Structure 1
Amino acid sequence: MSGTAGAVTVDCPSDIAIECFKVPGYRYVSYDNSGTTPCGVSQINGTVTGICAQPNVRVTSWLINGRNVLPEPTVDGWDNCAISFLNDFATTLNTWDPFAGNWRVVQSETCAYHVRSRAMPPTGTQYGRLTATNLDTGDTLTFDPITVTVPDQYYRRIVEVQCDGSVGERWTDASGAVVPAPPMDQLVTCTAEIVPGAQSVPTQRLRPRIKRFTGTASSDNFDLLQNVQTVTLRVVTGPVRVRAAGIGPSTPTAWEDDTNVPTGTVLTWGVANDSHAQLDGSLIFTGAAAASDFIVNWTETLHTDGD
């Protein structure tokens, strides 16, 4: 401060307000049954290896926050491999998770299909090893998770008065270095407790796919392809049999919708581009004659947040 006998003036420039903001971070926990991957580690009798087709299993423990959350060993069946195995495994986790991790099968470029939690705050519930016994072979099966964490990013907005009386602001990061203003639509106050969204942007993107079929060939069942958002059928030469039925996750025992469509037909199934929903229900296309010719294109969600 400086002044004279009758007046006091403020040193300038001068900070008159400091506010704390953050871009909330997030955390994903994932399990995989493919040996060692960036999405989890599976072992049989202590040897790292892929695990699938375990129809007679007793889950003996699942450590969460360092404690076993199973009230008693429980019998489960993981009957198949690949996505079917992971669907069963996710059901096991959702059944016994007291903290509602919302486990589901997702796809990423690093691990293809695996089981992952919803997005969670950077700190909190700590998921650990799941142990099971194969009752047919006596093998001990273990699954260890991988956690991908993006921490909260802290910023301070400092309002300052210049010597000419004008008011401005500057932003600093957690270290105090001056930085450009962060994206305002992502900021919350530092004291706010935010639960991240289930799909944190920009940790996902849509991949376009296309495939042509001729004769009596069949497409995959799109209910078994995870994270599909749109599917379009174009019949170059018909007829093409379309079977659509039920609600997943497994193939229904009977098809509710089953019809042949003619040459020139274009059919599309999909969800809104800005929606995090995905198609759910069996969908198969099959050439109904030797001369049938059709094209199927679809989009699938890929997760690129390191899991």
Structure 2
Amino acid sequence: MSGTNAGVSLDCPTTLANECWKVPGYRYVTYDNSATTPCGVSAIDGTPAGICDRPNIKFTSWIINGINVFAAPFNEGLDECGTPLLSDLAAILNTWDPFAGGWTVAVSDTCAYHIRSRALPPTGTDYGVLTAVDNDTGDVLTFTPAETVVQDQVFHRIVEVDCQEQTTVRWMNAAGATVPAPNPTQIVECSVQATPGVRTAPTQRVRPRIQRYTGAVSSPNFDALPAEVQAVTLTVLAGAVRVRAAGSGSSTGGAPTAYGDDVTVPAGITLSWGVDGDSYDLALDGSLLFTGTTAGSDFLVHWTEHTYTDSD
């Protein structure tokens, strides 16, 4: 037998590896008390409506994965609109959520103040309707959530060798188009079940504000602002200003003690109120209202307010 031996070569170009990588997706679940918004729908007896100032509420159900997670109906009260009410609702959700959704007050251009979860995987826990009954009126109050979902962004890393035995690496998106390599700090292998790589809670901000008032006019009630006010300063430039502060509280854990202060402050006086900055007192509590007493009244009010935003 005779013959020749020839080398065996691979077809070229040849794919050496085809790896699947992804930028993990995420999902936010949101509740809102402002009728129909992109962040949720609140309704009274089935009709979309804003819900505020309901001091005698019985919460009856919160449906998660098709099951009511409330052990039994319980009575609570809803504060006035804005962050006081939403903070109350967020505290209820965090108390009863068996999946630790991390509920907090957030703000956005589209929804203003609302309640938002931490970042969740694109699919998973099904958060549903929160229901309560107004014990005074019999109204049924419902809060239906909305979701913002960003799916996994999938890439394929293709390693090839050409006929000159040169190795190349290229990336393709899910549609098969060649794309630049993704940021290596943002991707994981497709088989990895990763925690969403986005902010888990809104960044907290303290925003400075200032307004000047002239004449017999009033400032807003600082307890009714949508943001949590941390400090307020009044400077009376001319005339006089009536200062009214009212509320209740207890420093001993006993029954709250009500107060109602009403003082007229002359020109040349500056007064300030503020929290002590620890982790418990995040905002001033109680009514605080300034009113010019005459047409010649002239006063400045400046304050800081605790807000939330998702941007750096």
TM-score range, shorter chain: 0.7 to 0.9
Amino acid in the other structure paired with 2:195: V
Shift of 1:243: 2.7
* Superposition RMSD in Å: 3.9
1:109-188 paired onto structure 2 within 5 Å: 109-188=109-188
1:251 equivalent to 2:280? Answer no
Unaligned 5+ runs, structure 2: 238-267, 287-296
Query: 2:87 is paired with a residue of what secondary structure?
Result: helix
Counterpart of 1:106 in structure 2 is 106
For 2:185, what is the secondary structure of its paired residue?
helix
Shift of 1:95: 1.2
- Under a length normalisation based on structure 2, what TM-score does the superposition of the two structures give? 0.71
Unaligned runs of 5+ in 1: 254-289
Output the CA distance in 2 between the equivalents of 1:161 and 1:89. Answer: 59
Q: Identity percentage over the alignment? A: 45
Hey, what's the Cα distance between the residues in 2 that align with 1:126 and 1:170? 38
Q: Paired residues, what number?
A: 266
Matched residue, 2:79: 79
Instruction: Judge conservation of contact 1:58–1:134 (CA < 8 Å) in 2.
Output: yes
Question: Over alpha carbons, which structure has the higher Rg?
Answer: 2
Q: Which amino acid aligns with 1:164?
A: Q
User: Is the Cα–Cα contact under 8 Å of residues 213 and 219 in structure 1 kept in the other structure?
Assistant: no
- Alignment CA distance shift 1:23-1:105 (3 Å): same
What letter matches 2:29 in structure 1?
V
My pick for the range that moved more, 210-219 or 121-130, is: 210-219
What's 2:9 paired with? 9
For residue 115 of structure 1, what is the amino acid of its counterpart?
I
Q: Is the 8 A contact 2:82 2:227 kept in 1?
A: no
Q: Which residue of 1 aligns with 2:289?
A: none
Q: 1:259-278 residue pairs with structure 2 within 5 A?
A: none
Alignment TM-score, normalising by the size of structure 1: 0.72
Change (3 A) 1:298 1:128: closer
1:135-164 Cα deviation digits (max 9, x unpaired): 111111111000110001111101111222
Pick which of 33-42 and 185-194 moved more.
185-194
> What is the CA distance between 1:214 and its match in structure 2?
6.5
| Counterparts of 1:208 and 1:73, CA distance in 2 | 38
Q: Which runs of 4+ in 1 moved over 4 A?
A: 203-210, 214-228, 237-240, 290-301
Partner of 2:253: none
Residues in 2 aligned to 1:37 and 1:95: alpha-carbon distance in whole angstroms: 25
**Inter-CA distance 33–174: structure 2 relative to 1 (3 Å threshold):** same
Change (3 A) 1:200 1:157: farther
Corresponding residue of 2:290: none
> Aligned pair in 2 of structure 1 residues 45, 299: CA closer, same or farther (>3 Å)?
closer
How many Å separate the matches in 1 of 2:43 and 2:300? 45
Give the secondary-structure state (helix, strand or coil) at the position aligned to 1:175. coil
Contact preservation (8 Å) 1:18, 1:157: yes
What is the deviation of 1:303?
A: 4.1
> How far is 1:242 from its partner?
3.6
SS in structure 2 at match of 1:57: strand
Q: Distance in 2 between matches of 1:45 and 1:291?
A: 47
Q: Deviations over 1:82-130 (max 9, x none)?
A: 2211111111111111111111111000010011111111011110011
